[in-house]
Amino acid sequence: ARWWYVYAWMNGGTLDYAISLTGPDATGRVKSADASRVYLGCFKTTAAGAPIPGRKANGRWVYRRSALASNETRVLNATTSVGPADLDLSALVPPHARVATLSLTCVGGDGGFSLSIACDGDTSDVGLTQRAEIGLTTATLTGDIECSAAQVVDYTTVRGATTGGATAFVHGFYE
């Protein structure tokens, strides 16, 4: 599993394309150390080398979860109170991306359950929160959150009694 980067360049007067393991420079416009190659986007592959299905439009990548195994984009499956703690998104958010789109769901169990997501190191300003009351399961909440340069966010979970839980999936990211 790895990130592949797509570039375009002029090859003897003809537009050509290439994929590379080298990411874009800090501007996100050209290949690092090769300004002749214009950055178009990136995609992640599975361990078998197959691209993970999705679509990019206007700088936003969205995973096509219907074409994936049920938990392939899951980054959290929590059943206890924790936090704040680091939630690593780097397996599904590329090294140059700083905004991730997450999908959150909670199951209230016998005492309610909540999940809060904040920027890494800034838990005083929660960006996304999902809560389920006793015995209920929430509809999926999808929202954007800023992540660190290491593609990490902070999460906090609170379980009100002995059962309940929360899941978080990477829905996509912005480049």
Condensed to tens digits (0 to 9), the pLDDT of residues 64-79 reads: 988 877 788 999 999 9
Is 97 in contact with 148 (CB distance < 8 Å)?
no
Average pLDDT taken over every residue of the chain: 93
| Per-residue pLDDT tens over the stretch 41-96 | 999 998 888 899 999 999 899 999 888 777 889 999 999 999 899 999 999 999 99
DSSP for residue 24:
B
26-41: average pLDDT: 91
Model confidence, pTM: 0.89
Q: Which of 154, 145, 153 is nearest to 174 (CA)?
A: 145
* 65: CB partners within 8 A, 6+ apart: 72, 73, 169, 171
Residues 6+ apart with CB under 8 A from 45: 1, 2, 4, 51, 52
119-145 pLDDT per residue, tens: 998 878 889 999 999 999 999 999 999
**98: pLDDT strictly greater than 80:** yes
Q: Give the pLDDT of residue 138.
A: 92
Neighbours of 129 (CB within 10 A): 15
pLDDT-above-70 percentage for the chain? 100
Task: Classify the C-alpha dihedral 53-2-7-16 as positive or negative.
Answer: negative
- Provide φ and ψ at 19, rounded to 5°: -110, 150
